[in-house]
């Protein structure tokens, strides 16, 4: 083996690296979710106003006929 070659990694070393990186990613995600203010997001979509076809077709861009 020459001095410029890196030593081969064992399967156990590879598995440990993968497990460590997954653990780190999950911890970062959990910390991010704990720091996120989830109260600003709406829980459900607002209900659209019911209107007739004629009302819809006569709606003007400056009027809020659909709210």
Q: CB under 8 Å to 51, separation ≥6 — which residues?
A: 65, 66
What does the pLDDT read at residue 56? 79
pLDDT at residue 24, as a whole number: 94
- Which pLDDT does position 20 carry in this prediction? 94
The model's pLDDT over 7-57, given as tens digits with 9 standing for 90+, comes to 788 999 999 999 999 999 999 988 888 776 655 565 677 677 777 888 878
pLDDT at residue 62, rounded to an integer: 59
pLDDT of residue 65: 53
**49 and 67 Cβ atoms separated by less than 8 Å:** yes
- Global pTM value: 0.44
């Amino acid at each position: 083996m020459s001095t410029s070659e890196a030593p081969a990694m064992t399967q156990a070393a590879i598995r440990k690296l993968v497990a460590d990186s997954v653990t780190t990613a999950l911890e970062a995600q959990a910390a991010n979710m704990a720091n996120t203010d989830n109260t600003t997001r709406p829980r459900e979509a607002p209900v659209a106003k019911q209107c007739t076809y004629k009302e819809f077709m006569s709606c003007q861009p400056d009027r809020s006929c659909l709210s």
